[in-house]
Amino acid sequence: MIHPEYQQWRLDTPQQSLVLSSENAALPTVIYWGSSLPAAEDLTALMQMATYDINGGSLDQIAPLSVCPQASEGFPGQAGMALRDAQGKALWTNFCFKEQTLHENDLVLRFHDENLGITYQLDIVTDTANNLFTLSAKLFSDPAIYIDWLAAPVLPAPQNSDHTLEFSGRWCGEFQLNIAPWSAGCRLRENLLGRTSHEHFPGLIMPTTNADNNSGSAYGLHYGFSGGHKMLTEELSDGRRQVQFGHPTQSDRKLTNSFETAPLYASYSAVGLNGLARSFQGHLRSAIVNFPDANKPRPVHYNCWEAVYFDHDIDVLKDIAARAASIGAERFVLDDGWFKKRHNDLSSLGDWVVDKAKFPQGLHPLIQHIHSLQMGFGLWFEPEMVSEDSDLYRSHPDWVLGPLHQVQGRQQLVLNMSLLDVQNYLFTQISTLLSEYPIEYIKWDHNRVLPVVDAAQTQGVYSLLDRLRIAHPNVEIESCSSGGGRADFEILKRTHRLWLSDSNDALERFWMQNNAALFFPSEVTGSHIGPAHCHTSGRELPIAFRAWVAASRHMGFEMDPRELSDVDITIIKEAADWYKANRHWLHNGFIQRLDCDDKAVLGEIQLAADDSQFVAFIAQMEVSAQTLPRPVRLCGLETDSMYNISLRNPQDRAPTSRGAPVLKEHNITLSGQYLMQRGISLPVAFPATLWIIEGIKA
């Protein structure tokens, strides 16, 4: 049957289908999002099946949960846009289909409101290789209007789901996973902190009932913006559910003729959360991060922050650099404290010139020494900030963002990055240093929340980064914001590494890394061996645990190497050598989270892209409830393939371990089926033990 009143669009990856349908030229609705539909599926029949009944107490039509639900259509929940004219009067849009462009699998749809002169544009780009869609919405208006809210294309949330998984966090505790049960009404998360933030990572996982890391269906979303966001999940009284992401509502207050949301990355997995992790990690690798030299392996870092803090003495730094190189470092990053009068965090931000008292001949002698040790050199900046006690503030108090009577953060103020003068100043300061010195790496920090939420601030930072990247294309950049306060896909279009957390406590770091792996692959996730006595938790953890947690991502050191014993050095060298020998496949592979049956154990497996080998990192996080370790089930292996597996570090077993689990002494060959179904038996372990199990396909 032909239904001229319906228009449909279908987008596919090998694992999922997304079908949109529009009735009578109205804004389209996602009528199917899930596992791939057969090619022969009749999309009109899908539309017919998606048509709801009408019950008592309802309006006479069920308003569509479209890609931008409209209050003017009687939508009974949160609308996807809120617009006002220049006088502040609410605008009620009535969009009608205008045109479409479909290139391969990339879709652009435009809908126009004749009366108001406003166009809504929906863009969907399909990454077939990584099973992911990138969606964004744009508005164009002939008269200038206020856009109080525009959601990225709105997606229906599954009704066969008990809860969503949200992210929260804090300084030294990023990427905490929270269960948010579905219930009637709207749940709103709005990040008004002006940066991606520790508190509200802009991601959401929607598992269907009983889904876990490795089974069941799940939907994953990430809003790629570094200036905060608003996310809402809503269950309507008729049972339908929606999820919306967009900029924070207060971040774009100006009259405008156009607006574009940030990209919303969306994926569906029929194989649990790990399918989503694979999609996000793969998409980030192939479409987001742009390394100056893709063939250059990720070097082992040494960062001097926790060794010396602001106390920069050139002889001490040279000594530390030599020791760092001898244990495997390949890049030395000079952290905070190198610039004019910066002796603590009370002053100097903005004055980006080398401190002559600490470095009388500039940075050249230190850099030459570092180069003589075969290491590259990196330098810390915090460009968006200014200290009240600085030459910059004294000459430009007018460059500060927000009111001058604001409460400061880390005794510092923020520069108004939307001002071209500010961007030009910072570009010149940073570019001059990058031209004068052979700096291959910037650690770009951002140590406070903003006094006001303002998207123009974020766009200003992006512009500055873009300009610097063009002028200095070989310089890599790390995104740091008191640790992981600015970790998102949009900043990673301009940077190459995330400083995931200021916590170098390896127990804390391990679970943070495990959760962050839902979105971020190994090669962009920085992880350092911190001091023996952890500066942020006060804990003392075994060197083997600290070393191997760091080796499981983009490895680095941050302890004072002068504190290391011979045993420490041997263990660190072994981990660094292993990292160097394996990074070529680890940094093209995929991290998958294990479903551990012992709640005191947390684990992951990293699989080579060609499935030829793997390494599993299995951490004893606390004391188990039962006497003996439960078998650990691996995942992501080929059921019929045989794997030769070995335990790299049987010596790390607990002193109470008296039995003979085979891996204590021998390698063994087992099928993927067995390893995933029954799992491996490990020796007894004390908390803060990290088992390293390596597997090669036989």
Least Å from the CB of residue 306 to ligand DGJ = 8
**Nearest distance from C-beta of residue 226 to ligand DGJ, angstroms:** 16
Q: 113, 445, 454, 598: which is the annotated catalytic residue?
A: 445
Active site (annotated) includes residue 445: yes
**How far, rounded to the nearest angstrom, does the alpha carbon of residue 511 sit from its chain's CA centroid?**
15
Interface region with ligand DGJ, contact rule CB under 6 A, candidates 20-28, 63-71, 371-379, 475-483: 475-483
Are 518 and 283 contacting, i.e. CB atoms less than 8 angstroms apart?
no
Stretch that binds ligand DGJ, among 12-20, 223-231, 479-487, 685-693 (CB under 6 A): 479-487
**Whole-number minimum distance, CB 502 to ligand DGJ, in Å?**
5
Our CB check for ligand DGJ shows the closer of 305 and 617 to be 305
Minimum Å gap between C-beta 563 and ligand DGJ is 18
Rule CB under 6 A: say whether 598 interacts with ligand DGJ: no
Site string for ligand DGJ, 496-515 (x = CB under 6 A): ---x--x-------------
**End-to-end alpha carbon distance in the chain:** 55
**CB 410 to ligand DGJ: min, Å:** 8
15/447 with CB nearer ligand DGJ: 447
When asked if residue 335 is in the footprint of ligand DGJ (CB under 6 A), the reply is yes
Q: Is the CB of 113 or the CB of 478 nearer to ligand DGJ? A: 478
Q: Is 380 in the site for ligand DGJ (CB under 6 A)?
A: yes
Distance, in Å, from the CA atom of 501 to the CA atom of 56, rounded to the nearest integer, reads: 53
> What whole-number distance in Å separates Cα of residue 512 and Cα of residue 498?
13
CA–CA distances in Å: residue 182 to residues 223, 234, 239, 246: 21, 8, 11, 21
Beta-bridge partners for 111: 97, 120
Strand runs labelled E in 362-425: 376-381, 385-386, 413-414
- List the interface residues with ligand DGJ, window 158-187 (CB under 6 A): none
* Residue whose CB is less far from ligand DGJ, 16 or 481: 481
b/e code 526-554 from CB counts within 10 Å (16+ = b): bbbbbbbebbbbeeebbbbbbbbbbbbbb
Max Cα distance, the chain (Å): 83
480 is an interface residue for ligand DGJ by CB under 6 A: yes
Strand order in the sheet with 601-607: 590-593, 601-607, 613-620, 689-697, 642-647, 668-671
Q: ∠293-499-517 over CA atoms, to 5°?
A: 85
463 neighbors 470 (Cβ within 8 angstroms)? no
Distance between CA 684 and CA 427 in Å, rounded?
Answer: 55
Q: How far is the CB of 525 from ligand DGJ (least distance, A)?
A: 14
Q: Which is nearer to ligand DGJ, 339 or 691 (CB)?
A: 339
Closest distance to ligand DGJ from the beta carbon of 501 (Å): 8
Catalytic residue among 335, 351, 502, 652: 502
Cβ closer to ligand DGJ: 502 or 568?
502
Size of the site for ligand DGJ (CB under 6 A): 11
DSSP assignments along 612-646, one per residue: SEEEEEEEE-S--SSSSPPPB---S--TT-EEEEE
Q: CB neighbours (10 Å) of residue 239? A: 9
Contact assessment for residue 682 and residue 632, using Cβ atoms and an 8 Å cutoff? yes
Among 111, 305, 359, 425, binds ligand DGJ (CB under 6 A): 305
Residue 482 in the binding site for ligand DGJ (CB under 6 A) = yes
Q: Work out how close the CB of 443 gets to ligand DGJ at its nearest, in angstroms, rounded to a whole number.
A: 6
> Which of the 8 DSSP states describes residue 243?
E
Distance CA 114, CA 590 (A): 49
**Interior CA angle at 406 toward 405 and 408, to 5°?**
120
Give the type of residue at 148: D
Active site residue 293: no
Stretch that binds ligand DGJ, among 385-393, 480-488, 535-543, 613-621 (CB under 6 A): 480-488
- Residues numbered 393-452 forming contacts with ligand DGJ, rule: CB under 6 A: 445, 447
Distance of alpha carbon 273 from alpha carbon 270, whole angstroms: 9
- Using CA atoms, how far residue 498 sits from 177, 502, 521, 549, 563, in Å, is 19, 11, 10, 16, 27
CA separation for the pair 548, 552 (Å, rounded): 6
Residue 483 contacts ligand DGJ per CB under 6 A:
yes
Q: Which of 127, 252, 336, 488 binds ligand DGJ (CB under 6 A)?
A: 336
- Residue closer to ligand DGJ by CB (options 480, 487) is 480
Nearest approach in angstroms of CB 459 to ligand DGJ is: 24
The residues annotated as belonging to the active site are 445, 502
Report the interface residues with ligand DGJ, using CB under 6 A: 305, 335-336, 380, 445, 447, 480, 482-483, 499, 502
